[in-house]
Amino acid sequence: MADIKLISAYKRYDTESVLNGVSIHVNNGEYISLIGASGCGKTTTLKIIAGLIKACSGQVLFNNVNASKLSENKSRAVIVDQNVLLFPHMTVERNINFGLRIRRVSKEKIKEKTEKLLEMIQLSEHKNKFPSELSGGQMQRVAIARAMAIEPEVLLLDEPFSKLDVSLREDMRKFIKEVHENHKITIIMVTHDKEEAFLMSDRVAFMDNGKIEQYDTPENIYKRPNSMKVARFFGHCNFIEGTIENSVFTSKLGTYSVDEKKEGKVTMLIRSEQIKIVREGEQNATGIVTDYRYAGEKSYLKLDSNGVTLGIHTTEDIKYRLRDTIHIKIDYKKGVLLW
């Protein structure tokens, strides 16, 4: 177990700058997710933490000790690559204990540990099979066991679910959660699935363009995003432009008293689910339907409300027609001010 700090990591390849000052602090035993669009530098960040590539500048600290001062061979952080990368010429068993064998651990110890790990991933009967004879989920589990065998302080999971069928992901999530809890290991997981990040981790770091935009608990990331970029990534949003004067927010949709001392132009984020369709009389705004899409468990609507376009969704099974006028209630209390 270890507490890890990555301090202002910069990385560029030839002409392309991939990381523009990434800093992240992961507590001992924490489970965090790195999330962001493809190509934003997530894998690069993991590889720098694992010491597999060198940052152009910046530091990695394990328990406040510079990683470059620690012997590289200790593999304090082990990556489970997004392509799994089992050794195709070794059996499941020998894949798992590869790290132990090269360390010349005693035969008995290797045997004991391998058996335990095989049990953990429930592949004891398959220990003599080769990777090509396994299913995607089984391969993924072998890769995790192989990493766990050398007892790293940090497990780095690079998109561990992306190659799995949806039906397998649930099992895999449970399995990884169990590994995390039973072994009290620090985990950094890369994903581009926001639900997965929220479900699995204590904290989520949202990356964009080689920078961490926000690093916080799932709840804070969703409810208190610090920019439009973050807000947009994690859910359907409406941005209402307005001004605040004397603690009153004024926009084309009307006025609302806010608990805010600052004054001036501001954008208020209202999530789609914070606008409800209500009966006449209960509304604080009205809108004309400009678009309606049925998506099964919910329907998506676009409204024009006094010149402001609002996107909302409803789970009620009512069919709306274009140009219908509907009454809505905007839950300003949950609105987030983005200056």
Ligand X SMILES: Nc1ncnc2c1ncn2[C@@H]1O[C@H](COP(=O)(O)OP(=O)(O)O)[C@@H](O)[C@H]1O
Q: Which of residues 44-63 bind ligand X (CB under 6 A)?
A: 44
Binding test (CB under 8 A) with other proteins, winner from 24, 61, 120, 150: 150
Q: Among residues 90 and 337, whose Cβ is nearest to other proteins?
A: 90
| Among 33, 43, 186, 214, contact with Mg ion (rule: CB under 5 A) | 43
Amino acid letter for position 329: K
Which of 63, 66, 68, 83: binder of other proteins (CB under 8 A)? 83
Give the separation between CA 284 and CA 263, rounded to whole angstroms: 23
Alpha carbon distance 45, 42 (integer Å): 5
Q: Does 138 bind Mg ion (CB under 5 A)?
A: no
- Which partner in ligand X, other proteins, Mg ion, none is near 85 (CB below 5 to 8 A by kind)? other proteins
Nearest approach in angstroms of CB 46 to Mg ion is 8
The dihedral over CA atoms of 99, 136, 93, 81, expressed in degrees to the nearest 10, equals 0
Partner whose binding site includes residue 18, from other proteins, ligand X, Mg ion, none (CB under 5 to 8 Å by kind): ligand X
- Assign 157 to helix, strand or coil: strand
Kindly state whether residue 87 participates in binding other proteins, applying the rule CB under 8 A.
yes
Under the binding rule (CB under 5 A), the answer on residue 33 touching Mg ion is no
- Residue 133 CB, shortest distance to other proteins, in Å, is 15
257 three-class SS: strand
Name which of 91 and 162 has its Cβ closer to ligand X.
Answer: 162
Does the footprint of other proteins cover residue 78 (CB under 8 A)? yes
Burial code of 16-55, b = ≥16 C-beta within 10 A, e = fewer?
eebbeebebebeebbbbbbbbeeebbbbbbbbbbbbeeeb
Token readout for 283 is: 């509304």
Q: How many residues does the chain have?
A: 339
Burial class for 305, CB neighbours closer than 10 Å (0-12, 13-18, 19+): buried
The item of ligand X, Mg ion, other proteins, none sharing an interface with residue 102, based on CB under 5 to 8 Å by kind, is other proteins
Among 33-41, 135-143, 250-258, 265-273, the segment contacting ligand X (CB under 6 A): 33-41
Of residues 330, 297, 22, 31, the one with CA closest to residue 188:
31
112 lies in the site for other proteins, by CB under 8 A: no
35-43, 70-78, 100-108, 111-119 -> range binding ligand X (CB under 6 A): 35-43
- Which run of H or of E encompasses 274? none
Min dist CB 38 to Mg ion, Å, is: 7
One residue of 21, 70, 98, 327 binding other proteins per CB under 8 A = 98
Q: Residue 79 binds which entry of other proteins, Mg ion, ligand X, none, with Cβ cut-offs from 5 to 8 Å by kind?
A: other proteins
Q: Whose CA is closest to 222, among 334, 88, 59, 54?
A: 334
Q: Contact with other proteins (CB under 8 A): which of 33, 44, 45, 75? A: 75
Burial of 295 (0-12, 13-18, 19+ CB in 10 A): exposed
| Residue indicated by tokens 């110890």 | 109
Q: Which residue type, as a one-letter code, is found at position 71?
A: S
Residue of 67, 145, 147, 179 interacting with other proteins (CB under 8 A): 147
Options 18, 61, 188, 270; binder of ligand X; rule CB under 6 A? 18
Beta-sheet strand order (sheet of 65-66)? 16-26, 4-13, 57-62, 65-66
In the complex, which residues of this chain contact other proteins (CB under 8 A)? 50, 52, 73-75, 78-79, 81, 83, 85, 87-91, 94, 98-99, 101-103, 107, 110, 146-147, 150
In the complex, which residues of this chain contact Mg ion (CB under 5 A)? 43
